[in-house]
Structures are given as structure tokens and as C-alpha cells.
Chains A and B, each alone.
Chain A
Amino acid sequence: MKSEEELWIKQVISGGPDAEHAFKAISVRYGPKLYSQIFRIIQNEAITKDVLQNVFIKVWSNLSSFKQESNLYTWMYRIARNESLTILASETRRSHVSIETSVVQIISGHKELDALTADEIYDYLKEAIETLPEKQAIVFELKYFENQKYSDISKLTGTSEGSLKASYHIAKQKITAFLKTKLNH
């Protein structure tokens, strides 16, 4: 995957006839994951598409400055996260965001959770994810929300499965502690 990525990056940077083809390949591989990631932050389809377009423009325009110290997906994830939070903040100020779909459902049986709506608890969950370091946030999102296999996440991020499992475990602990604090206040 890494060498394939490197080839695509080279092709895009070189700007030759293969640039568009390579960029399409990048978009198809990572677009769905980025779309889901953005949607979980924005919760609005139209704005999610706008944000994704901005993200792709930034990737297309700045790929030459990508240092390749991290994997391409990790770099794109960072861009998508920053872009989503920026747009969300500006759209929220203008009260333009209408939440179309809940990202989580509550399974009844938890005393504190049952007192909240799904959107309320999801707001806490989003807040908790934003406090995580990037690596933990990535593995949590891919594992918890998308139920991806560790082997696939490993290929995507270039991190060993053992490290990913540890990161996921720590991320869950942090998020649980964060939610408990919120629910008890």
C-alpha cells in the first residue's frame, strides 16, 4: 500500500498525464473514510460534501508539501478534522447546521444515559474524541464507528496492530472517563 501511495503522490506532484488518474485513485481509496469522518463531526450531508471538497482541494494543491513522515491517510485525516471543525464552528455561529441523522443510538439500560437524548450524548462523545491525540482518535473512529479490522487500520496508518490495540484501549478508557465526568455533572 505504501509503495502504491508513493507512486500516486509522485504522479500527482509531477503533474503529468497520470496526475488526475492518481488523484482519483487516492480519492476513491480514502474518500469514503474521510466522508464518514467528516459527517460524524458535521452531521449534515450537504455541508459534509462541501467540507470534503475543500479537503480534496487542499490535498491536491499541497501534496507536494506532504513530507511523508506519516501515512497519506493520517495526513488527510488531519486535514479533514481541521477543516470540519473550522467549518462547523463558522456554520454553528451562523446557525446553519441542521442535524439530519444521529450518529449513535442509545441502548437502554444505562441509568445516566437513559436520561439523555442520542444527540446530547453524541455531543459529549465528539467532545471526548477531540481531546484524544491524533493516533488514538483515528483508531477509535475506525474501530468503534466503522468496525474496521486492526489489520486494515494497520495498513491504513502504517502502525502495528499491537500498537493500535493499545491505542484503542487507552482511547476507550479516556472517553469513558470523560463521559462519566459529563454524566455526573
Chain B
Amino acid sequence: MKKKQDILDHLKPELTNTPNNDYFEALASKIALEHPISIKKNRLFPKIIGMSLAAAAVLIIAIVLFKDFSQPTTKPKLDKELFADINDEEISAYFDAHIDEFSLEDISYEISDEDLGYKNSTIQLDLYFSDISQEEIIAYIKQEHLDLDEFEDELLIF
């Protein structure tokens, strides 16, 4: 019995006439010439250069920022010898006359808690919350779901 043939068996593929190897070699050379290797190298170098520049930029920014933030927050102590011939009354008078020129930070640095009569910061806190217990404060913070980080600046005032 003759086997029933598939549709594909009724089609005869024609082999394609492909060019010889010289054609493909020449084509490869032409492409290599027209798209020089330096371009391909540059594909790597821009990455390296780019990354280096980015790293350098980050470093510079970091240095600048670090420098800004690392400015000594501690002011040099007043040189007693420098002010040896100026008495306390004169200094005090100068401060009174130029008080607006000094920042809170300057003043707070130069004046200690002891100078202000506070033995420690708890005493100062007690000035404000003397009639509220610590438990009540904590309970309030929990009840209101307050995030203390958000009040960092305010809390530092105390």
C-alpha cells in the first residue's frame, strides 16, 4: 500500500546559491574598516572614564560637604592674653552694645549651663514640664503617634 505523502513531501526546496568564502571575508574586513576598532574600544573607555568622572565628582562633592560640615563647631577659646588689658566690665559693655551681631550658637558656646545657673539640662526641662510627669509625656507621645525625629529642632531648644 502506498504511503500517503505529506504536503511538504510535494515541495522540493531549491538550494540557495551562496557567495564563496572570499565574499564573506571581504564583507567582514569592510565592516571592520568602516566601523573602526577604536569605536569599539571607546565603548569600554567611556564607561571607565564616565565612572571615574562620576567617582571624582562624588569625591569632590563629599569633600566640599565634609569640609562645610566639619568646620570646627568649637570656636577657639578667647585668648586671655589678648584681652588681658580689657576688664570684664568693658567686655560686658561691648557684648551688650553688639548683642545682635552674635548668633545664638556663639553665645551658647561661650556661656555654660553653670554660668546660667543650670546644673544640668533636666533642670531646664523641669522649668517647662514641672507639673507634668515623664510618664504623662510618654503616654501623650504614644497617643498622638508622634515621631520624635520630626521635633528634633524643637527639642534641641531645650
Contact = CB atoms under 8 A, between A and B. Distances in A.
A152 interface: no
B14 A27 contact: no
Q: Which of A12, A60, A64 has most chain B Cβ within 10 Å?
A: A60
Interface stretch (B33-41, B51-59, B69-77): B33-41
B32 A19 contact: yes
A112 B44 CA distance: 58
A19 B39 CA distance: 13
Contacts of A145: 13, 15-16
B24 interface: yes
B131 interface: no
A113 B10 contact: yes
Given A52-B27, A57-B35, A103 B14 contact: yes
Contacts of B155: none
B8 interface: yes
Contacts, number: 112
Contact of A26 (B10, B28, B35, B37): B28
B6 A172 contact: yes
Contact size range, A: 35 or more
B52 to A, nearest CB: 20
A107 B12 contact: yes
A131 interface: no
Chain A facing B: main interface SS: helix
Interface in B4-32: 5-16, 18-19, 21, 23-25, 27-29, 31-32
Contact of A104 (B13, B27, B28, B32): B13
28 contacts: A13-B40, A15-B41, A23-B32, A24-B25, A27-B24, A27-B25, A27-B27, A31-B18, A31-B21, A31-B27, A32-B19, A35-B19, A36-B18, A39-B18, A56-B27, A60-B35, A60-B40, A105-B12, A105-B14, A106-B11, A107-B12, A112-B7, A113-B10, A113-B11, A125-B11, A146-B15, A172-B6, A176-B7
Interface of A: 12-13, 15-16, 19-20, 23-24, 26-28, 31-32, 35-36, 39-40, 52-53, 56-57, 60-61, 64, 101-110, 112-113, 121, 125, 144-146, 172, 175-176, 179-180, 183
Interface of B: 5-16, 18-19, 21, 23-25, 27-29, 31-32, 35, 37-38, 40-41, 43-44
